[in-house]
Chains A and B, each alone.
Chain A
Amino acid sequence: MKKSSSENLAGYLFVGPSLLGYSVFVLGPLVAAVALSFTHYDVLSAPRLIGFNNYARLIADARLATVYRNTIFFSAAAIFVTVSLGLILAVALNQRLPGPIKYGLRTVYFFPVLVGMIYAAMVWKFLFNRDLGVVNYYLHFLDVPSIGWLTTSSWALRSVILVYVWKNVGFTMLTTLAGLQNIPQELYEAARIDGAKPITAFFRLTIPLLTPVILFNVTITMINTLQEFDSIVALTNGGPGDASRSVVLYIYEKFRSFDMGYASAIAVTLFVLISLLTLLQFWGSRRWVHYS
């Protein structure tokens, strides 16, 4: 009994620091945001309780509907392309290739992950510039008229997604590659002996055994993209108009207008959305994720 108590104490001591950090830096601000969402607060005056007024504003805010639509489109497209392209690249790089080519390509694909988004975005802005950019320069040779990659509503959000995928596909490739290398080779040999063709083995063996990695990638990408901020700020600043503005960018705008109560109310809705989607994913994963 005594031993058990001292073990418990040691456990609490180990968990203590991170629990403290979590309480101060995550739980505290979360509770504060919920509390502030029921107030009018402009930073320099004391918060004033206004009940559900901020939540009533949400319903009437046409811009909020636009930024939510953008965010969900951004997230869905980024998840689909990043995860599927990461899978394709991982499978390609898991083939028997000469060492220098294999490791060289892995480095090339992973390198953008290491580059800060702001630096990368500055380069992409020059590439995407309508009149002086490299992309349109080469497209002119194909008789394609100048495209406002970052300055037209039809392209701005897609261009940001493209940059996001370029930046992050290396990460999903790496995790998928690790997953691929954890699949025992004997399973493939057994499948081959049973007469399975490579394509059958891929869909019946590789994909099911990669589902935990896919779930991980989908969840991480979803949480990141629903909170995407830096790439949008650096590339389009949400424009033109609100065409590429995300919910987090909109929250930031409201914070900067010192409309803290309303900004907190929007942040609470985003928190609820991300929590629900994550729970939904884990609940649904029982049907399609195979851990063995």
Chain B
Amino acid sequence: MDYPPPFCPPSDPSRGLLKSISRVLKSLGLGLLFGNQLLSAALAQSPPPGDTKGELVLFDFGDANDKQVRDATIARFNKRYPNVKVTDQFTPITSWPDYIDKLVTQVASGKAPDLIHIATEGAQLSIQKKLIIPLDEFTKTDPGNDLLSDIDPTLLKGFTVEGKLYLVPEAWNNMMIYYNTKIFKEAGIPRPADDWTWDDFLAIAKRLTSGEGSSKRFGFGIPYFNFGLTPFWYSNGTSVLKDDLKESNLSDPRFLEAVKFIHGLVHESGVSPDPANTDPNAVFQLFAAGRIAMTGGGHWPMQFFKANQFNDYDVVPWPRNKAQKTVFGAAGWGISSRTKQKALAWEMIKELAGTESERQAAGVGVAIPARSSVAESADFLAQPEHAGLFYKSLSYAAPVQAPVNYADVERILMRHLGQVMANEVTPEDGLKAADQELTEAMKNLGD
């Protein structure tokens, strides 16, 4: 695939002047005289004055709750910068590939935004296509910057390429097992241990599966989407792509073992309903309705549970087979390479990923806050009982694999997996075909 020539981000005139002064001082040998600290202070990012005029366009995603948080954030920003018009191009999200498509299309049409809100799934594409710029010039020189000190290094690492940070993490999600506490209690099953295994999980799912017809209850609802299935791969010590994200890993026997396990949940033990045609969010409806005793999800279904006054649930880490590992995906704010107002955009990021915005977001429970102080707040930990496990999972979670052609990888995997789950091909044959197609797709990526 061809890559575009790098965009030439317009330079910030004030910083250009400082750099020129710096160069002159250095050339005169005065740099040594004044010392590096003085130079750094001169180069330090100072916020634009409050009467700065301008316009910022945010490319943004989320649901109605996120929109409320964002509106409040923009209002706070406008108190500092009343002459800056902020337009939030808000997209109710359906899937990451859809969102990434919209971003790329908008940039290609010449209407690039100033700030881009993107998740792990689109980060590599944004970086490699040079849609966003490194933020180190701000994070390392802004004296008032405290954005990163409160964020777990694992989240920062996910947005760092070749030592440069491109996005400031603002929220993230992982995958945990949700279980219905009432059903567990009625069945006399204690809360699973945090280090439970696939065997423990299957045994419990079998005990919880009961009834027939309209009274049928399943032990586990498979979260049937790429992110939702990933903990099955990770907890078996495998993944869709090799670690360098450049080659298919679907021929790994551990991947086959994981697929067979999921297939068996439907077709052998019968503890899960056929997931292939269920809306990804339908499992949460069935879970809240008591038709499914366990399912997998991040922090996002809790808003649905809250709206439906469903409170009989708790979370437990994903069961392990060969490894204790789950998946996470973070969302962060970056500065568009085409913005003409980098300094102002950075001030906006400080507000968007700041404590106040995250505290508000924690209250509405859409995702897990990136700032540990907020994730440990009473608001966030109010529900469920073991809500603290969400942030703790970062110690054993790995980012969702998201190469530049993430959408293709997801499509290829899910299309072949669909045939396996429909029992139309064996897991062996399905994965063999998927591996061939994915290998070809990854080869084309390097062209």
Contacts and interface: CB of A to CB of B under 8 A. Distances in A.
Nearest to B109: A43
A125 B277 CA distance: 7
B232 to A, nearest CB: 19
Interface stretch (A67-75, A149-157, A284-292): A149-157
A43 B216 CA distance: 49
Interface of A is mostly: loop
A239 B291 CA distance: 25
Interface string A228-271: 00000001101111100000000001001110000000000000
Interface in B391-447: 405, 407-408, 411, 415-416, 418-419, 421-424
Interface in B125-173: 129
Contacts of A238: 415
A241 B421 CA distance: 10
Nearest to A149: B277
Interface stretch (A128-136, A163-171, A190-198): A128-136
A43 B278 CA distance: 33
B277 A242 contact: no
B192 interface: no
A131 to B, nearest CB: 4
A241 B415 contact: yes
Nearest to B278: A129
Contacts of B274: 129-131, 148, 151
Interface string B1-44: 11111000000000000000000000000000000000000000
B157 to A, nearest CB: 26
Contact of B108 (A44, A125, A242, A257): A44
A132 B424 contact: no
A48 interface: yes
A19 interface: no
A53 to B, nearest CB: 13
A137 interface: yes
A151 B408 contact: no
B277 A241 contact: no
Contacts of A45: 2-5
A122 interface: yes
A153 B424 contact: yes
Given A42-B1, A122-B279, A256 B213 contact: no
Given A44-B104, A239-B415, A129 B273 contact: yes
Contacts of B214: 137
Contacts, number: 87
B2 A48 contact: yes
Contact of A131 (B5, B107, B273, B416): B273
A30 B407 CA distance: 27
A129 B129 contact: no
Contacts of B68: none
A53 B152 CA distance: 49
B105 interface: yes
Interface string B210-234: 0001101010000000000000000
B129 A44 contact: yes
B381 interface: no
Contacts of A240: 276, 418-419, 421-422, 424
Contact of A151 (B101, B107, B276): B276
Nearest to A126: B282
A131 B277 contact: no
A240 B421 CA distance: 9
A130 B407 CA distance: 28
A153 B276 CA distance: 12
B245 interface: no
Contacts of B4: 44-45
15 contacts: A44-B4, A44-B107, A122-B279, A125-B278, A129-B273, A129-B278, A130-B274, A131-B216, A152-B424, A239-B276, A242-B415, A253-B411, A257-B407, A257-B408, A258-B104
Interface of B: 1-5, 97, 101, 104-105, 107-108, 129, 213-214, 216, 218, 273-274, 276-279, 286, 291, 405, 407-408, 411, 415-416, 418-419, 421-424
What 7 pairs across the A-B complex have the smallest Cβ distances? Answer: A131-B273, A240-B422, A240-B418, A239-B418, A130-B274, A151-B276, A150-B277
Given A44-B129, A131-B216, A253-B411, 16 more contacts: A42-B1, A42-B2, A44-B4, A48-B2, A129-B277, A131-B218, A148-B274, A150-B277, A151-B276, A151-B277, A238-B415, A239-B415, A240-B419, A241-B419, A241-B424, A258-B104
